[in-house]
Amino acid sequence: DELVSQIAAGEVVERPASVVRELVDNALDAGAAEVGVKLLAGGIRSVLVEDDGAGIPAAELALALRRHATSKIASLEELERVGTMGFRGEALAAIASVSELSLLSRTADAPHAHRLDARSGELAPAARGTGTSVEVRELFFSTPARRKFLKTESTELAHCTEALRRHALARPDVGFGLWHDGKPLQQWRRSSPEQRLAQVLGEDFIGASRPVALDLGVLRIAGRTGLPEAARARADHQYVYVNGRHVRDKLIAHAVRAAYEDVLHGGRQPAYVLFIEIAPERVDVNVHPTKTEVRFRESREVHQAVRKAIEAALAVPRA
Ligand code: ADP
Ligand code: MG
């Protein structure tokens, strides 16, 4: 089973940023209002994610580390309309198979917290408030071939920061903090959606962009898109969310590009952040461990809507 978990880990865990993504997913699923991410050496030495969510009962700590153990899906039908970010029930098991992982957690009604060390299985009383801390140390320590593929600390840190940014943009109602080697790097306080965009992408992004808003009932698009002349410096910041989930989608990227075609004159694609809300039965969400892909039932309509929404934001005259 250890080997099976390590193979699964190959799919789930590429680098410290994958650990950040999975642990923050879990914190948000647990209803956290505040999430702290503390990294050592770009996350290679340690990723610690602390939340003030519901916590895990002591009796269930060991279960949380077992493969295909998830508390989030009760039936196959439920799998069809997944409301939570993680549901495969394999992230913690996979990460634990290629690291030194410990869980420290306390539920609201527990007299104190418990700590579980994944490798030894040792469960001990511990202190903390309600919520969960997951610490992942020495990623790939037992698989040097994988560890070899990690880049420099600063590159891994940049990937971790990006992973957190993706969560932070989608959840302005949650506060996020990021520390590296003991130094605070980011503090994104709970705020409005617009303020969160400014916090994460910079105040200048607001002035250099226009609001996007389109409501077709079954399909709603919100967000901001960069002005062609102003936002070129941030061309790498292109974020698309479908029903709250960060996705990479060629169809949407193409629709945005089409909208900019008439105004860009060969310049670089500006930054944009789009939140698409669509009836769940009109989209298939395929959450591969390392990327999220979507397939829209009516892809032409979605393409047209995104293009129209961006053109309206930029006030591009329609041909
Ligand atoms: P999944 O998220 O797909 O269920 P994971 O392996 O990521 O699978 O987590 C396994 C289980 O551990 C979750 O279903 C949840 O019950 C519990 N868990 C993990 N992290 C947390 C957390 N931060 N707070 C509360 N429960 C957690
Ligand atoms: Mg999970």
Ligand 1 near 70 CB (within 6 A)? yes
Burial class (CB in 10 A: 0-12, 13-18, 19+), 165: buried
The residue contributing the CA closest to ligand 1 atom 11 is: 64
Architecture, CATH, for domain 2-188: 2-Layer Sandwich (3.30)
CB atoms within 10 A of CB 96: 24
Integer CA distances (angstroms), 91 to 75, 154, 167, 267, 297, in order: 19, 24, 17, 41, 29
How far is the first Cα of the chain from the last one, in angstroms, to the nearest whole number? 60
Ligand 1 near 51 CB (within 6 A)? yes
Q: What is the pLDDT of residue 85?
A: 42
Q: Which of 193, 221, 223, 225 is nearest to 278 (CA)?
A: 221
Q: Model's pTM, two decimal places?
A: 0.91
The residue contributing the CA closest to ligand 1 atom 7 is: 91
- Given a contact cutoff of 8 angstroms between Cβ atoms, the answer to whether 68 and 90 are in contact is yes
The residue contributing the CA closest to ligand 1 atom 21 is: 26
Q: Which of 130, 118, 125, 124 is nearest to 56 (CA)?
A: 130
Q: Which CATH number does the domain 193-314 belong to among 3.30.230.10, 3.40.50.300, 3.40.640.10, 3.40.47.10?
A: 3.30.230.10
Tens of pLDDT along 145-173? 889 999 999 999 999 999 999 999 999 99
Ligand 1 pocket: which of 34, 50, 52, 70 to mutate (most atoms within 8 A of CB): 70
Q: Which atom in ligand 1 lies closest to the alpha carbon of residue 51?
A: 23
Q: Which of 231, 240, 233 is nearest to 263 (CA)?
A: 231
The residue contributing the CA closest to ligand 1 atom 12 is: 64
Task: State the Cα–Cα distance between residues 9 and 155, nearest whole angstrom.
Answer: 21
Cα-Cα-Cα-Cα torsion 249, 252, 254, 256, nearest 10 degrees, comes to -140
Say yes or no to pLDDT of 215 above 90: yes
Distance 41 CA to ligand 2 centre (A): 24
User: Is this complex's ipTM strictly greater than 0.85?
Assistant: yes
Say yes or no to pLDDT of 87 above 50: no
Task: State the Cα–Cα distance between residues 88 and 209, nearest whole angstrom.
Answer: 37
Domain coordinates in residue numbering, the chain: 2-188, 193-314
In the 8-state DSSP scheme, what is residue 136? Answer: E
Q: Which atom in ligand 1 lies closest to the alpha carbon of residue 73?
A: 4
For residue 56, what pLDDT band results from cuts at 50, 70 and 90?
very high
For residue 264, what pLDDT band results from cuts at 50, 70 and 90?
confident
Provide mean pLDDT across the span 72-91. Answer: 56
- Given a contact cutoff of 8 angstroms between Cβ atoms, the answer to whether 283 and 295 are in contact is yes
Task: State the Cα–Cα distance between residues 224 and 212, nearest whole angstrom.
Answer: 5
